[in-house]
Amino acid sequence: MRLHFTERLRKSYDAAPGQVRKAFDKQTRLLAENLRHPSLRAKKYDEARGVWQARVNCSSFTIEGDVYNIIGMTAHPK
């Protein structure tokens, strides 16, 4: 699968601390390789709009063909 990052995601990523960016990079690599990877805990978030959510710093994304459109991210609550 291919990854596409929206402008909203790019802004969130740029504003995130280095540790958050590092974790995001690791998790997006896992997402590209295997949506069902256990550490992602991917699930449908909004069935009507086809939005998924995964443990990629609480990222939301849609799937269109062979592309994951990463919409945005928020820091995972501690």
Domain count for the chain, please give it.
Answer: 1
Whether 20 maps to a domain, the answer reads yes
Tens of pLDDT along 21-68?
A: 998 898 899 989 998 898 888 888 888 888 888 776 667 888 998 999
| pLDDT (0 to 100) of residue 3 | 94
Number of C-beta neighbours around residue 60 at 10 A: 19
Domain, as residue range, for 17: 2-72
For residue 5 the two structure tokens come to 């990052």
Distance, CA of 42 to chain centre: 9
Is 77 within the bounds of a domain?
A: no
Within a domain: residue 51?
yes
Specify if 59 maps to a domain: yes
**Residue 15 sits in a domain of what CATH number?**
3.30.2310.20
In-domain check, residue 41: yes
CB 53 within 8 A of CB 66: no
Contacts of 44 (CB under 8 A, 6+ apart): 50, 51, 52, 53
Residue 77 pLDDT more than 80? no
Q: Is residue 78 part of a domain?
A: no
Residue 33 lies in a domain: yes
